[in-house]
Amino acid sequence: MFAASSRILPGGVNSPVRAFKAVGAMPVFVERGRGAHLVDADGHTYIDYVMSWGPLIHGHAPRGLLKALSAAAARGTSFGAPTELETRLARRVATLMPSMERVRFVSSGTEAAMSAARVARAATGRDALIKFEGCYHGHADAFLVRAGSGAMTLGIPNSPGVPAAVAAHTLVARYNDLASVEHVLDQHRGTVAAVFVEPIAGNMGLVPPRPGFLAGLRTLCDREGVLLVFDEVISGFRAAAGGAQQVWNVRPDLTCLGKIIGGGLPVGAYGGRTDLMNLVAPSGPVYQAGTLSGNPLAMTAGLWSLEALSPRLYRHLARLGGRLAAGLADAARHAGVALQVNAFGSLLTPFFTTHAVRDYETASTADTSQYGALFRSMLAQGIYLPPSQFEAWFLSGAHTDRDVDRTLTAAARAFKALS
């Protein structure tokens, strides 16, 4: 299958990280997903910790979602006209994230971030954006500057094809380092439209914000008349029902969403302050549009997913995530393998390094060949991990204690072979 796909698709895949280049293995072709498990084209079953890179907080193919989707599909797949579903999902988003007073749906996190950048530039009349080294906000030109995720994994954080004139407006600071942000703001006073941040960084591997970092960004932005944009494509509805902004009680001016908001179908969203979002066409002059924006099937999947969120789900995710993170650290210690496990709720990344991982620089000290060896050993034992040291592992409501036990047993075996 990979040979056939490689003859027609660049690298044989439709998103780089899926090609397993960074972990020295042949990509798995999936036949189906069920709960927390994947079944590949050869009939092998895996416990899945990619979960489509985050959207599937309820696991693969939940019965209620399939029922809602088949009923929606019977009414038609797309109209290019408003449906009441879009209003209902926007209201649900605004209830969970009160900072999102107005919401616009798009079809990916990339579209959400690039549109939020356009609104921020229009609202402030300024061109520069500040992002953090190792953070990833999708593949729009402005954000492919020292980007994380697949760009970091493949060692192309600054992609060819991005005009120097565009990259020049993207300024880069160090994650978890307010002084670095202050320095950039001092050097570029009056020219910065917005600071874009993953409030919990997931694209250099998982790096939670240090105490005071997010509140510090809010203070600096207020002082400089700069907009604060939270990219909650990963953390939204995952860190908590109200995302990272609820956990740390910091109110951004704009928020970007994706993944969970679509329940596995293509949905992104951006939104925030009414005065800013009223700039968006047709209520204002900032143009942004999309054939499949607000698609009824995607809205149905998003509604089902957000309505199925519950305190019990977050307790389950926190407990299992905690068990998995602690168990990995224990297993590595017993095997004498240097491992730092960063974790937050149902997100985690084990870094093969002795350094505490707080930013891109410390994440880069991780031994990616050891991660590759872990990946291959776990895959052979029926555990499907993110195929990159610089990604987060995702749990879902469908994962069980038995899945975590099996994963830890397999990890102990993998670490022993590494030591």
Rounded to 5 degrees, φ, ψ at 378 are -65, -40
Near ligand KE4 by CB under 6 A: residue from 20, 49, 53, 132: 53
Answer for the pair 243, 230: CB distance below 8 angstroms, yes or no.
yes
| Residue that is written with structure tokens 């957000």 in the block | 306
Return the number of the residue (138 or 252) whose C-beta is nearest ligand KE4: 138
Which three-class secondary structure state does DSSP give residue 268? strand
Query: What is the footprint of ligand KE4 within residues 184-213 (CB under 6 A)?
Result: 198, 202-203
Which three-class secondary structure state does DSSP give residue 157? coil
Kindly indicate which of the ranges 136-144, 316-324, 368-376, 406-414 contains the residues binding ligand KE4, using the contact rule CB under 6 A.
136-144
| 15 touches ligand KE4 by CB under 6 A | yes
- Binding residues for ligand KE4, total number by CB under 6 A: 21
**Least distance (Å) between residue 204 CB and ligand KE4:** 10
Alpha carbons 342 and 213: distance in angstroms, whole number: 17
The alpha-helical segments, DSSP class H, found in 97-228 are 109-124, 149-153, 164-167, 178-187, 213-224
Nearest to 267 by CA among 314, 305, 239: 305
Kindly indicate which of the ranges 85-93, 109-117, 189-197, 214-222 contains the residues binding ligand KE4, using the contact rule CB under 6 A.
109-117
Return the number of the residue (117 or 280) whose C-beta is nearest ligand KE4: 117
**Least distance (Å) between residue 330 CB and ligand KE4:** 27
Here the contacts of 399-406 (C-beta below 8 Å, separation 24 or greater) are: 399/36, 399/47, 399/59, 399/320, 400/36, 400/320, 401/320, 401/323, 403/36, 403/47, 404/320, 404/323, 404/324, 404/327, 406/47, 406/382
Near ligand KE4 by CB under 6 A: residue from 36, 85, 108, 371: 108
| Residue that is written with structure tokens 């004139």 in the block | 165
Return the number of the residue (200 or 276) whose C-beta is nearest ligand KE4: 200
Q: What order do you get walking across the sheet with 30-34 strand by strand?
A: 30-34, 37-40, 45-48, 383-384
* Contact flags string 222-261 toward ligand KE4, x per CB under 6 A: ---------x-xx-----------------------x---
| 28 touches ligand KE4 by CB under 6 A | no
**Least distance (Å) between residue 172 CB and ligand KE4:** 16
Residues near ligand KE4, by CB under 6 A: 15, 17, 53, 108-110, 113, 136-138, 149-150, 198, 202-203, 231, 233-234, 258, 268, 391
